[in-house]
Amino acid sequence: MILKQLWMTSCASIAILSMAPTPSCFAVEGVEGDGSQFVEIAPPSGPEVRGFIRFPSAEPPLSHDEKLALLRKKVKYVFVLFQENRSFDHYFGTYPGANGLFSQSPSATPGFVQKIVNTDGTVSTISPFLIPQTVTAVNGGTVPLYPADTDSSDHSHAGIDNSLDVDANKVAANDRYALNAEGLTTINGQIVALSTGLPPSANPTLAQKQKAELVMSHLDCDTIPFLWQYANRFTLFDNFHQTIVGPSTPNAIAMIAGQSGETQWVLHPNEGSNLSSNSSNTALKNSGGVPVVGDNGPFPGSNLDTASVKPPYNPEDENPATPALNQTYASLPLSFMGKNIKQTIASDENPTLDLLDVQHDIAKIAGDNLPPVLWGWYQEGYDHEPTDGNQPASHSSYIVHHNGPQYFGYVGDNPKVASNLHGLADFFADVAAKRLPSGGGVFYVRGGYDNNDGLTPVDPDPTVQGNFAGNDDHPGYSDAQISEALVADEINAIAQSPYWEQSAIIITYDETDGLYDHAVPRIRAFDPEGSPLSGGPRIPAIVISPFGLVHAISHEYAEHSSVIRFIDELNGLTPLADLPDEANARMLGEKQFGQANLGPADDQVPGMGDLFSAFDNARLLGVDPPLPPTFAEIPRSTVLSLPHYGGKGCRTLSIVPTDYVGGKVTDPPPADFNPRPGSTPGIPTSGTWTP
């Protein structure tokens, strides 16, 4: 039997199988159908999954509304495990069956062959390659690379924009990732310095060239076996994109708002990022303006915030004297207030500043008369963590610019709403003590600069162990295996709790870290300077549920707004894009700036998915039993044992990545490649390098 089978059933065959009227097939992409048209079953792997796989021909068809009704009945708890800074191709570019690096010929893969400038000034080319566990030195010795620890790349708004190389038709060539990492770009085919537009005045250093190589690298199941195991057992999305072309902050905001301030810019053009740098207002000048495209810290909790009770700030992360502007548009935390919204906002300490732009949204949310949606945002370092010992909360592991809700004054400066913000250890304590709301809710979980498992990187180098103790998967300070251990801890906690039976777990990322991905993004909006703003490159996403499809790959187009859309639909919320103040701003954006898609994308954006494709119709209907929690669990002893699966994850999972032919890798690294020139400089194959 062929396991790789597209769920692409014609209208006629659906009508024959289900006796349903054929017009139901003419649905808006990713919205009106049940999502199965976007799904295929991956090629065979290990025996653990075979008994749980369900084929399209055996699935009872459902309309979108029928599937939604079942999801509302079955799923009460949504957990968003929100990680950092990896592109899809970097993590899953060789996952069998996915749209990956070798799914098509090099000539049909945008950016597969890129220019790179050597240390002597000559120009050569580079293509995607695997970071192996070891390389062979010139003296014949075996040198471990420890690929779980890699330097971070340029993931700024301008940097990713340069890497994408978007033309006048909004089509990205994806061909300047390597050059961007060297501080270079192209003008009319000529390589020039990004900062000046002139021919470069100096050749790249070895470290710069190695960083340019790094952006073209990828990992596989030997380095991140837990993530590949979850993909193997549940549904991997290979068309999930970051919302904003830029770094972490705007995409952390987009996770709950579907935008990073486009509607605020429309309503307040003087706050636009094109004007803020020249403003006489110091706070506006230092903020970066709106939309948010940089990593300034949040206004609530900053030195400029006058609230009497403020959320915490980590000055080692972001400067509290130069925060972003207070974000004043609608987000899920506003919608979550439901019919209690007017009582809830009465506790806001700065209502004029925080709520002026959402007055009609407030009236609409109150008028919908829906019960509040209970929620929590758990992030490492927000309050006391085990790493603080018996001392007060240090917030030293708190990455304040990753906390999306804190950017909104109506969250951060309203004690009643800010009570939904917690530390990472609080999540495990609340789940273990069964303190989550009995009626369900939405819960986001994030790591930080440290880890509560007491893990250290496998690399014995003290510098590496000191630099890579983080657990949120951000290159430069997080170890990939320590980070997937956090994900496993979170999933294990849910699986071992009563919440598993009614859960949907979404693992995803904020942005790519500037790492190469070949898929062409769907650019729909531009920032005040005219640079591409949204949507961005692909990032990993996996959906886990007792009602989930097994061993599936979804090609459904998705973004952070798809997570919002799923939550909207599950709870009957008016989409953010349809709230009156946001809808009005969208119209004004088209009138003033000629852009129809400035604002949240959980509605009004054709083709935006809702993640329904991750769920198994038969399991929702009760035709097949739900997946047991043990199917999602990874033993605690395995989680804490590094390297995971002894560095042989692919063999353990019985998965052969697509860059292996005849048992040999077809895309080895460049001879001078170093995964972390910032911590362990030099050339690993030189015979003198110490990892």
Residue-wise pLDDT for 256-282, tens only, equals 999 999 999 999 999 998 887 788 888
> For residue 664, what is the enclosing H or E element?
strand 664-665
Q: Provide the β-strand partners of residue 135.
A: 143
Q: How far is CA 452 from CA 421, 443, 448, in A?
A: 18, 19, 10
- Those residues with Cβ within 8 angstroms of residue 145's Cβ, 6 or more apart along the chain or in another chain: 131, 132, 133, 134, 135, 675, 684, 691
Q: Tell me, what's the pLDDT at 36? A: 86
Is the pLDDT confidence value at 22 over 60?
A: no
Q: How far is CA 410 from CA 23, 344, 365, 416, in A?
A: 44, 10, 15, 10
Interatomic CA distance for residues 629 and 147, integer angstroms? 31
Q: How far is CA 135 from CA 568, 644, 691, in A?
A: 49, 20, 11
Q: Tell me, what's the pLDDT at 277? A: 77
Q: Tell me, what's the pLDDT at 18? A: 30
Q: How far is CA 168 from CA 188, 244, 531, in A?
A: 14, 19, 11
> For residue 229, what is the enclosing H or E element?
helix 225-233
Interatomic CA distance for residues 344 and 459, integer angstroms? 49
Q: Tell me, what's the pLDDT at 11? A: 31
| Residue matched to tokens 């920032």 | 527
Tokens of 419: 């009570």
- The four Cα atoms 427, 251, 130, 685 give a dihedral, to 10 degrees, of -90
User: What topology does CATH give the domain 1-691?
Assistant: Alkaline Phosphatase, subunit A (3.40.720)
Interatomic CA distance for residues 525 and 406, integer angstroms? 25
Q: Tell me, what's the pLDDT at 57? A: 67
- pLDDT average, residue stretch 637-666: 97
- pLDDT average, residue stretch 65-69: 97
Work out the percent of the chain whose per-residue pLDDT is above 70: 95
Q: Tell me, what's the pLDDT at 2? A: 32
pLDDT tens digits, one per residue of 123-159: 999 999 999 999 999 999 999 999 999 999 999 999 9
The C-alpha R_g of the chain, in whole angstroms, comes to: 24
Interatomic CA distance for residues 46 and 43, integer angstroms? 10
User: Helix, strand or coil for residue 499?
Assistant: helix
Is the pLDDT confidence value at 7 over 70?
A: no
Q: Tell me, what's the pLDDT at 34? A: 85
DSSP type of residue 292: -
Asked if 34 and 550 count as a contact pair (C-beta separation under 8 A), the reply is: no
> For residue 399, what is the enclosing H or E element?
none
CA nearest 254: which of 600, 6, 499? 600
Q: Tell me, what's the pLDDT at 540? A: 98
Q: Tell me, what's the pLDDT at 279? A: 83
Tokens of 398: 């708190």
pLDDT tens digits, one per residue of 327-353: 999 999 999 999 999 999 999 999 999
User: Helix, strand or coil for residue 205?
Assistant: coil
H helix runs in 219-281, sequence order: 225-233, 248-257, 262-267, 273-276
Q: Tell me, what's the pLDDT at 1? A: 29
Asked if 420 and 375 count as a contact pair (C-beta separation under 8 A), the reply is: yes
pLDDT tens digits, one per residue of 406-465: 999 999 999 999 999 999 999 999 999 999 999 999 999 999 999 999 999 999 999 999
Q: Tell me, what's the pLDDT at 300? A: 98
E strands, 346-412, are 375-379
Helix then strand then coil, in percent of the chain rounded to 5, is: 35, 15, 50
Give me the chain's average pLDDT, please: 94
- Those residues with Cβ within 8 angstroms of residue 121's Cβ, 6 or more apart along the chain or in another chain: 203
H helix runs in 142-197, sequence order: 157-164, 177-181
Tokens of 42: 């991956």
Tokens of 209: 């060239």
Interatomic CA distance for residues 583 and 602, integer angstroms? 12
DSSP type of residue 246: S
Is the pLDDT confidence value at 498 over 70?
A: yes
Is the pLDDT confidence value at 558 over 70?
A: yes
Is the pLDDT confidence value at 27 over 70?
A: no
Angle in degrees, CA 611, 615, 616, rounded to 5? 155
Is the pLDDT confidence value at 523 over 90?
A: yes
DSSP type of residue 661: E
Q: Tell me, what's the pLDDT at 59? A: 84
Is the pLDDT confidence value at 369 over 70?
A: yes
Ramachandran category for residue 570: left, alpha or beta (phi over 0 → left; psi -120 to 50 → alpha): alpha
pLDDT tens digits, one per residue of 659-691: 999 999 999 999 999 999 999 999 999 999 988
Q: How far is CA 23 from CA 33, 517, 584, 591, in A?
A: 11, 37, 33, 35
Chain Cα centroid distance, residue 520: 17
- pLDDT average, residue stretch 34-62: 89
CB count within 10 Å of CB 464 equals 21
Query: Could you tell me the residue ranges of all domains in the chain?
Result: 1-691
pLDDT tens digits, one per residue of 206-241: 999 999 999 999 999 999 999 999 999 999 999 999
Q: Tell me, what's the pLDDT at 23? A: 26
Q: Tell me, what's the pLDDT at 58? A: 80
DSSP type of residue 145: -
Tokens of 100: 């990956």
Tokens of 366: 């109150």
Work out the percent of the chain whose per-residue pLDDT is above 90: 91
Asked if 555 and 250 count as a contact pair (C-beta separation under 8 A), the reply is: no
Q: Tell me, what's the pLDDT at 32? A: 62
Q: Tell me, what's the pLDDT at 251? A: 98
Q: Is the pTM of this model over 0.85?
A: yes
Interatomic CA distance for residues 356 and 329, integer angstroms? 9
Q: Tell me, what's the pLDDT at 31? A: 53
